[in-house]
Amino acid sequence: MSRSTDSGALEIPDLSPAQALDRLRAGAHLVDVREAHERALGMAEGAIGIDRNTLVADPYGHLPDAGAEVLLICQGGTRSRLAAQALAAQGYRSLASVLGGTTAWEAAGLPMVRTDIDDDFAERYSRHLRLPEVGLDGQRRLQQARVLLVGAGGLGSPAAFYLAAAGVGTLRLVDDDVVDRSNLQRQILHADARIGMSKVASAAIALEALNPRTRLEAIHERITSGNVERMLDAVDVVIDGADNFPIRYLLNDACVKLGKPLVYGAVHRFEGQLSVFDAGRHRGHAPCYRCLFPEPPPPEAAPNCSEAGVLGVLPGVVGLLQATEAIKLILGIGEPLAGRLLQFDALAMRFRETRLAPDPDCAVCAAGRPFPGYMDYQQFCAGR
């Protein structure tokens, strides 16, 4: 029973870990009130994990019966006592705190539930682990994911940095270019000292320094009809950071054929746009790039960055939005940008969204239509 002490705080009985285990086996609830990243390193077997703030904010949402026996455990025994006092103040009548916490429980050789994660993982991703929408399961999903990033340039730079930082296990970077001084105004993966180096090698240096846990597959090749399926092999999400029409159509067709989600992004001067094309997995329900643009614009109407110029921060914004969509797709959270085109105007600082419907007559993604085969994309985009 809880009693008030002279100071007004409620006195909470302590149980040794062995006593707590006996009570647990007799039907008491054992609640581990540490943060998710702490619990991820191992918990008393049978405990349920609810961090202290969450529990105290809404105890009845987690433990509806105020008369039930509730034992609280943390790392060393302090937070569990504070949590128990807070529950007592909210009407719980049978509370105890585990003396010495999980440290004492483990030292006593009592059963633990262990995860296979290490300290680096728990610390590095602690801000993800405490988000219920990510958590340990989501972080593991990120670790097991492989993202293909086509282009280690303006869009690919921020996307790659944040995907590596977020813990995407494997990044496959494909780019056949070398670092040029004119790239450094926006392609932040690269550095002045690496001018002349292949972009994928330069990117690997930057990403390795940020997160050595991310495995980098650096491929110094131009993506073509001949190698695209090898590039997409075992990939969960494709990010188009190439920003040129032949590669865009090629990636679209391959992603429809192989059922991979494609995170599209493009920039031009002060404006950018992005979408998620997921027609390969949702035939007839989600559009592909060709539903939006069945044919490329004439080359003179669509100059690239080297011809038209681009505000350096612009691909940063769009590339980060692409990375955001990729992470959501891997985690299966939120509402993906499929079926929507998001346009960004940096000068006006405005976002605009347009609904995109699948084209029932699309040459590539129409429901039931067999794959028409790859085409000569250079000619398709240049020769009309």
- Is residue 351 a contact partner of residue 342, using CB atoms and an 8 Å limit? yes
**136 versus 288: smaller Cβ distance to Zn ion:** 288
Distance CA 342, CA 158 (A): 18
Query: What single-letter amino acid sits at 201?
Result: A
* Residue 379 CB neighbours (<10 A): 10
If one asks whether residue 254 binds Zn ion (CB under 5 A), the answer comes out as no
**95 versus 288: smaller Cβ distance to Zn ion:** 288
Minimal distance in Å, beta carbon 252 to Zn ion? 8
**257 versus 290: smaller Cβ distance to Zn ion:** 290
Angle formed by the axes of helices 314-331 and 156-166, nearest 10°: 40
- Is residue 363 a contact partner of residue 252, using CB atoms and an 8 Å limit? no
Tell me which stretch binds Zn ion (CB under 5 A): 32-40, 209-217, 265-273, 282-290.
282-290
**In this structure, what is the dihedral angle of CA atoms 376, 296, 337, 157, given to the nearest 10 degrees?**
70
Work out which of 288, 310, 337, 381 binds Zn ion, going by CB under 5 A: 288
If one asks whether residue 286 binds Zn ion (CB under 5 A), the answer comes out as no
Query: What single-letter amino acid sits at 271?
Result: E
Tell me which stretch binds Zn ion (CB under 5 A): 124-132, 216-224, 289-297, 306-314.
289-297
Work out which of 28, 204, 291, 318 binds Zn ion, going by CB under 5 A: 291
Query: What single-letter amino acid sits at 300?
Result: E
If one asks whether residue 318 binds Zn ion (CB under 5 A), the answer comes out as no
Chain position carrying tokens 């990729």: 326
If one asks whether residue 290 binds Zn ion (CB under 5 A), the answer comes out as yes
If one asks whether residue 365 binds Zn ion (CB under 5 A), the answer comes out as yes
If one asks whether residue 147 binds Zn ion (CB under 5 A), the answer comes out as no
**72 versus 362: smaller Cβ distance to Zn ion:** 362
If one asks whether residue 292 binds Zn ion (CB under 5 A), the answer comes out as no
Number of residues that bind Zn ion (CB under 5 A): 5
Question: 291: which DSSP letter?
Answer: H
**212 versus 360: smaller Cβ distance to Zn ion:** 360
Work out which of 71, 163, 362, 381 binds Zn ion, going by CB under 5 A: 362
Distance CA 84, CA 72 (A): 7
**Read out DSSP for 301-346?**
GS--HHHH-B-TTHHHHHHHHHHHHHHHHHHT-S---BTEEEEEET
If one asks whether residue 129 binds Zn ion (CB under 5 A), the answer comes out as no
Binding site for Zn ion (CB under 5 A): 288, 290-291, 362, 365
